[in-house]
Structure 1
Amino acid sequence: MTHLTPALMLSVFALCACVPAPSAPPQTLTLSPTGYRADGDQCRLALESEATVNYLDDAADLVACPADMENLGVFAIDTGGVEVARIAGYVLYSVPTR
Structure 2
Amino acid sequence: MAAIRRVTPAAMVALAGLWLTGCDAQEPSPQPEAPNKAEAAAFAWPASLPVFGDGFPAAGAACRRIGESPATVDFLDDSAALVGCPTAEDAARLGGTILKQIDGVTLVSVPNSAPGVPGDGDSQGDAKVAGTDYDATAQLRCAGYRGMKATMCDAGVKRNQEDGQTLVFIDWPDGVNSRMLIFDKAGKILTANTNEADGSSKFEVLGKRDGDTTVVTIGPERYEVPDVFIKGD
1:84 alignment partner in structure 2:
99
CA distance in 2, matches of 1:45, 1:33: 6
Q: Flag as ranges the 4+ runs of structure 1 deviating above 4 A.
A: none
Equivalent position amino acid for 2:72 in 1: T
The equivalent position to 1:40 in structure 2, one of 50, 60, 75, is 60
The equivalent position to 1:93 in structure 2, one of 108, 121, 135, is 108
2:4 alignment partner in structure 1:
none
1:53 alignment partner in structure 2:
73
Identity of aligned residues (%): 42
1:64 alignment partner in structure 2:
84
User: CA offsets, 1:58-96, max 9 Å, x none?
Assistant: 1000000002x65443x23xxx31101110111000000
Structure 2: unaligned runs, 5 residues or longer: 1-46, 114-233
CA distance in 1, matches of 2:48, 2:78: 22
Count of aligned residue pairs for this structure pair: 67
Equivalent position amino acid for 1:30 in 2: P
The 1:72–1:84 alpha-carbon spacing in structure 2 relative to 1, beyond 3 Å, is: closer
CA distance in 1, matches of 2:84, 2:75: 11
Secondary structure of 1:48's aligned partner:
coil
Aligned CA RMSD, in angstroms, stands at 1.8
Structure 1: unaligned runs, 5 residues or longer: 1-26
**TM-score (structure 2 length as normaliser):** 0.27
Equivalent position amino acid for 2:78 in 1: D
Deviation at 1:33, TM superposition (A): 3.9
CA distance in 2, matches of 1:50, 1:31: 14
Equivalent position amino acid for 1:88 in 2: D
2:207 alignment partner in structure 1:
none
The 1:40–1:58 alpha-carbon spacing in structure 2 relative to 1, beyond 3 Å, is: same
CA distance in 1, matches of 2:53, 2:81: 15
The 1:71–1:46 alpha-carbon spacing in structure 2 relative to 1, beyond 3 Å, is: closer
**TM-score (structure 1 length as normaliser):** 0.60
Deviation at 1:28, TM superposition (A): 1.2
Equivalent position amino acid for 1:51 in 2: A
